[in-house]
Amino acid sequence: MKGLARIKQDELGWVEKETPKIGPYDALVKPLALAPCTSDVHIVWGNAYMGSEPNRIVGHESTGEIVEVGSMVKDFKPGDRVIVPAITPNWSTVNSQKGFGQHCYGMGSGMSFVSAKDGTFAEYYHVNDADGNLALLPDNVSLEQAVMISDMMTTGFYGAELAEVKPGDTVAVFGIGPVGLMGVAGAYHMGASRILAVGSRPAAVKVAKEYGASDIIDYHNGSTVEQIMDLTDNEGVDKVIVAGGNENTLGEGLTVLKFGGVLGNVLHYDGVEKIPVPALGWGAGLSDKTIRGGVCPGGRARMEQLVKLIQYGRFDSSKLITHKFTNFEDIEEAMIIMRDKPKDLIKPAVILE
């Protein structure tokens, strides 16, 4: 079978491999929809690949059709159309039992795609523990919608959940790339009254407003901290979601946060050695401002929970997709677009039907 791989550092290319073998609890899936993620870009052209193996097929966002299931799989069968989460934990480890399947064996190891085996940008891919990690695609949910759940929606909503957004809260969302936009949507669906979204690209601003942002903070207009304090009569915000920015964003978020507030971080501080926490903004350790940050949850229960928002008409996750392709081989161009980030890009996707 054919797959799009990190041939070696800085080189993306097609490889021909054997179709994966599946174990008794696993499934073999062929893609119906694929989307590249910033982390795929970092794996190929950055320093995010932790493995040593060359020719590793990349990709972890997908929706697919089951081709084969192992003998012990009970709830799925060939032909089923399924949402495939980026995070497919071994649910049985001690970390998973404690509620952190995303770190089932260690940091972020719930994402076995790419880190432990070939990813989803292939004609077929392997999913461990099909009963525990797949969710049926409801008939009225489109492939465009479904493929945005695997990582974007679960991560962005997790940001809002980490921040413990409550009805009536004023929430600042730093960064309105695809994850930040989902953070806006998550905050909205948890009852935020105001959502101050930090970003400037017109395509993203448009979707941010559609997803519930009440105000857009553009850093071209001056300090984001000052703009947020102005908009809130110097009271600051109840909750903060950090979904984009740089090593100073955490500190900006803390600075605009009220005492007793919570900051939910889903930004990967890539290439940063020390993330500075400003003593002033954090009350020198004593402000009762909580800092949480993590990898999105995955697995079947999570996918089933999230897809219901789409299935029952409360949310349209597909608005992220600005660049749509229709052939399997287009995933290469989608990766390159993701790397080059043209101005009008939020998220590319390959939809195969």
Which residues ranging from 5 to 44 are in contact with a copy of itself (CB under 8 A)?
24
Which residues ranging from 113 to 152 are in contact with a copy of itself (CB under 8 A)?
129, 131-132
Rounded Cα gap, residues 309 and 288, in angstroms: 33
Identify the DSSP state of 149. I
Please state the closest distance from residue 82 (CB atom) to a copy of itself, in A.
14
Position 233 contacts a copy of itself (CB under 8 A): no
Please state the closest distance from residue 308 (CB atom) to a copy of itself, in A.
4
Please state the closest distance from residue 314 (CB atom) to a copy of itself, in A.
6
Position 190 contacts a copy of itself (CB under 8 A): yes
Candidate list 6, 60, 126, 194; residue touching a copy of itself; CB under 8 A: 194
In 149-256, at which residue ranges do the beta strands (DSSP E only) sit? Answer: 170-174, 194-198, 215-217, 237-242
Q: Among residues 220 and 274, whose Cβ is nearest to a copy of itself?
A: 274
Q: Among residues 55 and 287, whose Cβ is nearest to a copy of itself?
A: 287
Which residues ranging from 261 to 320 are in contact with a copy of itself (CB under 8 A)?
265-270, 272-280, 282-295, 299-302, 304-309, 311-314
Position 191 contacts a copy of itself (CB under 8 A): yes
Rounded Cα gap, residues 347 and 322, in angstroms: 6
- How does 220-246 read in b/e, with b if 16+ C-beta sit within 10 Å? eeeebbebbbebbeeebbbbbbbbbbe
Q: Which two tokens stand for residue 14?
A: 């097609």
Q: Which amino acid is at 237?
A: V
Ordered DSSP codes for 37-105: -HHHHHHHHSS------TTEE---EEEEEEEEE-TT--S--TT-EEEE-S----TTSHHHHTT-GGGSS
Please state the closest distance from residue 44 (CB atom) to a copy of itself, in A.
18
Q: Among residues 5 and 309, whose Cβ is nearest to a copy of itself?
A: 309
Please state the closest distance from residue 313 (CB atom) to a copy of itself, in A.
8
Rounded Cα gap, residues 72 and 24, in angstroms: 5
Position 186 contacts a copy of itself (CB under 8 A): yes
Q: Among residues 98 and 220, whose Cβ is nearest to a copy of itself?
A: 98
Q: Among residues 124 and 157, whose Cβ is nearest to a copy of itself?
A: 157
Rounded Cα gap, residues 12 and 297, in angstroms: 28
Handedness of CA 67, 70, 76, 77 (dihedral sign): positive
Which x/- pattern over 96-115 shows residues binding a copy of itself (rule: CB under 8 A)?
xxxxxxxx--xxx-------
Q: Among residues 19 and 214, whose Cβ is nearest to a copy of itself?
A: 214
Question: Segment contacting a copy of itself (CB under 8 A): 6-14, 29-37, 119-127, 159-167?
Answer: 159-167
Rounded Cα gap, residues 347 and 35, in angstroms: 8
Position 157 contacts a copy of itself (CB under 8 A): yes
Position of tokens 């940091």? Answer: 107
Is 350 exposed, middle or buried (CB count within 10 Å of its CB: 0-12, 13-18, 19+)? buried
Candidate list 52, 94, 233, 340; residue touching a copy of itself; CB under 8 A: 94
Q: Among residues 13 and 283, whose Cβ is nearest to a copy of itself?
A: 283
Size of the site for a copy of itself (CB under 8 A): 83
